[in-house]
Amino acid sequence: MPLERGRRALVAFAVGFCCTAAGLTQHDPHPTPPAKTPVEQKRGAPTAPTHAPLSVLHPSLAFRHVQAANTAVADALAAGKPLPKPEPRPSGAGKYVCAVLVCADSDVEVAPLLGLQRDDVLVIAVPGPLANAETAALLERAVADERLALVLVLGHPQCKAAAPRPNGADDALTRRFAALRQHAERQQLPLPKALATLQTELLLATSDALRTATQGDTLRVLPAELDAKSGRITWHHQRADVMPLAPVK
């Protein structure tokens, strides 16, 4: 009958509506997490940017670290203040932040004047400082085994090894420094500066390994002069030698 069919249709509609409402309000115990928003990256870059420590310390960064640390030390000494605490090692440094070829007669603690921890500096103390085959071999090992990136050749003004011997006494140091004085006069340079620059050139000229490392821009060998009283280092390199990219030679 029409009335009965209408009642059945109404009941079916009510049941369907209740089921639909129950489905809409049912809580899902394991909801699907929303998709993560991708990390913003530069246009055209194949991957998102990452932040990781440097695996190798570049020579220019090693120099900047040493230069800034020594400046802080010299400023503190000039102001009569305690020496500043050494800065943390730069990222990527190997066993040593730098190596220093210094005169054995300089009578200074090299690492504190550089503003570095003692263990961060390979100190090679020889008369002069005069580079020799053993010095070059030790630096070659440090470059190959310890990722050494920076070598400083430090002269100093008050070098007793350079002073003439009394009564005209002659020995190996006297003869060596007599030749160095002649070189300094020809170059019209003060002896400490001529000494540091010449020893730097000799190290690179006599060592294929050190020269190859400098050409590959994994090593810089820089001459400088240390004033033991003020603690300040005067750098004698060319500006291009400490730029982020090594100069073409």
106 touches 84 (CB < 8 A): no
- What are the structure tokens assigned to 35, written together? 């998709």
For residue 210, which of 110, 99, 115, 128 has the smallest C-alpha distance? 99
Main-chain phi, psi angles of 73, to 5 degrees: -65, -45
| DSSP category for residue 81 | P
**What's residue 3's pLDDT?**
45
**What's residue 11's pLDDT?**
46
Question: Quick one: residue 70, left, alpha or beta (phi over 0 = left, psi -120 to 50 = alpha)?
Answer: alpha
Alpha-carbon separation of residue 13 from 17, 26, 133 (angstroms): 6, 20, 101
Domain residue spans in the chain?
59-242
Alpha-carbon separation of residue 35 from 32, 38, 81 (angstroms): 9, 9, 57
Distance CA 81, CA 102 (A): 26
- Domain 59-242 architecture: 3-Layer(aba) Sandwich (3.40)
Q: Is 106 helix (H, G, I), strand (E, B) or coil?
A: coil
Distance CA 2, CA 218 (A): 97
192 touches 157 (CB < 8 A): yes
Can you give the pLDDT of all 249 residues of the chain as single tens digits? 554 554 555 445 454 544 444 444 444 455 555 555 544 555 555 666 555 555 789 999 999 999 999 999 999 999 999 999 998 899 999 999 999 999 888 778 899 999 999 999 999 998 877 888 999 999 999 999 999 999 999 987 767 767 777 777 788 888 887 888 888 888 888 888 888 898 999 999 999 999 999 999 999 999 999 888 888 999 987 665 555 655 555
**What's residue 17's pLDDT?**
44
220 touches 241 (CB < 8 A): yes
**What's residue 64's pLDDT?**
95
Q: How far is CA 133 from the centre of its chain?
A: 26
Rounded-to-5 percentages of helix, strand, coil across the chain = 45, 10, 40
